[in-house]
Amino acid sequence: MAQMVRVHNFNVSSDGYGAGEGQSLERPFGDADATALFSWSGATAHGPTRTEPGGSYGLDDYCTREWHRNVGAEIMGRNKFGPQRGPWENLEWEGWWGAEPPFRTPVFVLTHHVRPSITRGATTFHFLNASPKEALAQALDAADGKDVRIGGGVATVRAFLEADLIDQMHVAVAPVELGRGEQLWTSPDTLTDRFHLERIPSPSGVTHHFFWRK
């Protein structure tokens, strides 16, 4: 099949916020309570933070697993990579994820302040000062025939939506309001001119939103 550009397991509040304000080293999601957005995935058998057997194998686990399937590269914004802003003061920061980042593919970090690539475990981070379209061309090439995941945060997903570069998108909407911060949308219906939209409520409380191009 053709290579796809996909968003998966992107989490927003019922009012469309994916993060609060004031990101810092201690608070990667700013002043928002990220737990309320992510707990559905953490409870699954394939949850990214699971260290022991157990967890659910229902709808939420299907969605959690999909994050990995047939992905050959990721593109993320600099604010997903780290809390720093502006020129790098030094190169000690190598991401939030330690020695074995979960991506296990090339990852392209969009930034106005490029730096040398970093390899940690099976993941290599490349830093690009590029438009969404230019970055995507590189990521599609690096993905070796597999799909490219747009990893976020909110500003990065919005930039790729605005450039009309996304084929499929899974967004889990949590039953909490944040009221302020980084907003993905005022309503998912703002995207239905271009995308099919299926809303599937999960017993966990989130509503999975599946978008695919019309």
Which residue, 65 or 115, has its beta carbon nearer to its own copies? 65
Distances (CA, A) of 208 to 13, 120, 160, 161, 170: 12, 32, 20, 18, 7
Bond preceding residue 152 cis, omega within 30 of 0: no
Helices and strands of the chain, counted as H and E runs: 5, 11
Which residue, 59 or 114, has its beta carbon nearer to its own copies? 59
Exactly one of 26, 53, 87, 186 binds its own copies (CB under 8 A); that residue is 53
φ/ψ (deg, to 5) at 160: -75, -30
Exactly one of 34, 36, 59, 165 binds its own copies (CB under 8 A); that residue is 59
Q: How far apart are CA 90 and CA 98, in angstroms?
A: 17
- Rounded to a whole number of angstroms, the minimum distance from the CB of residue 15 to its own copies is 23
Exactly one of 39, 168, 183, 207 binds its own copies (CB under 8 A); that residue is 168
- Rounded to a whole number of angstroms, the minimum distance from the CB of residue 193 to its own copies is 17
Which residue, 100 or 134, has its beta carbon nearer to its own copies? 100
Residue with tokens 């939030």: 96
∠ CA 2-119-1, rounded to 5°: 5
Number of residues that bind its own copies (CB under 8 A): 22
Q: Among the candidate windows 60-68, 128-136, 148-156, 177-185, which touches its own copies by CB under 8 A?
A: 60-68
If binding is defined by CB under 8 A, does position 104 make contact with its own copies? no
Residue 148: partners with Cβ closer than 8 Å, 6 or more residues away: 3, 4, 5, 6, 71, 72, 73, 74, 75, 136, 139, 140
Chain positions contacting its own copies, by CB under 8 A? 1-2, 45, 53, 56-59, 62-63, 65-66, 69, 168, 196, 198, 200, 202-203, 208, 210, 212
